Amino acid sequence: MKRVLVCLLIFAAAMMAAEKTVYEFSLNSIDGQPAPLAAYKGKVVLLVNVASLCGFTPQYTALEATYEKYKDRGFVIVGVPANNFGSQEPGSNQEIKKFCTSKFHVTFPMMAKVSVKGEDIDPLYHFLTDKGASSHTGGEIKWNFTKFLIGPDGHVIARFEPAVTPDSPEVTSAIEKALGSLKSY
């Protein structure tokens, strides 16, 4: 009987974790204002940890183009600066904002710098990388420009590693499929 009760408790905890969505988390905007992810409820979101001094930094161009292509259909990109890999995002939030807007003309929402791995990992990234919450998209962030595609219900649909560009057929196909689900959402 005790074993059955323990199993039920474990199952209940797993079900509660599976029901959690990104909408339960909040970041700060790059300007320091609270930015609850629930503001994107009903949209398709591509969440990307970014860095200014990375070999993948030119992906900002493709990120902006992808955002421009789909933003009127219920799509948003959220850039999340992180300095976890080779100190490739050393600047302040204002320096990051200036860099992104002047060099890459970024218009999609940018958040304040957070940690995406390690002991000081942001709670959102702890959730995104938790293999218990999502075995197919969980796992430690390996480098800058890791991308998470989030459906209109707040659940992670797909994860794309840094070398997969935002304008690749793999990513755009997943975005278009997710946007197609907006009609039934």
Task: pLDDT tens for the chain, 185 residues: list them.
Answer: 555 444 444 544 444 445 799 999 999 999 999 999 999 999 999 999 999 999 999 999 999 999 999 999 999 999 999 999 999 999 999 999 999 999 999 999 999 999 999 999 999 999 999 988 777 888 899 999 999 999 999 999 999 999 999 999 999 999 999 999 776 54
- Say which of 21, 26, 54, 55 is annotated catalytic: 54
Residue 138 lies in a domain: yes
Tokens 């707040």 label which residue?
154
CB 115 within 8 A of CB 121: yes
pLDDT at 135: 76
Q: Evaluate whether residue 12 is within a structural domain.
A: no
Range of the domain at 138: 21-184
Cα(152)–Cα(169) distance, rounded to whole angstroms? 21
Catalytic residue status for 100: no
CATH of the domain at 180: 3.40.30.10
- Domain count along the chain: 1
Residue 136 is predicted with a pLDDT of 82
Per-residue model confidence (pLDDT) at position 151: 95
pLDDT at 2: 55
Distance CA 1, CA 105 (A): 62
The pLDDT value given to residue 160: 97
Q: Is 14 contained in some domain?
A: no
Residue 97: inside a domain = yes
29 is a domain residue: yes
10 within a domain of the structure (yes/no): no
Question: What are the tokens at 138?
Answer: 């969980």
Give pLDDT, residue 14. Answer: 47
8 part of a folded domain: no
Helix (H, G, I), strand (E, B) or coil at 29: strand
Residue 3 lies in a domain: no
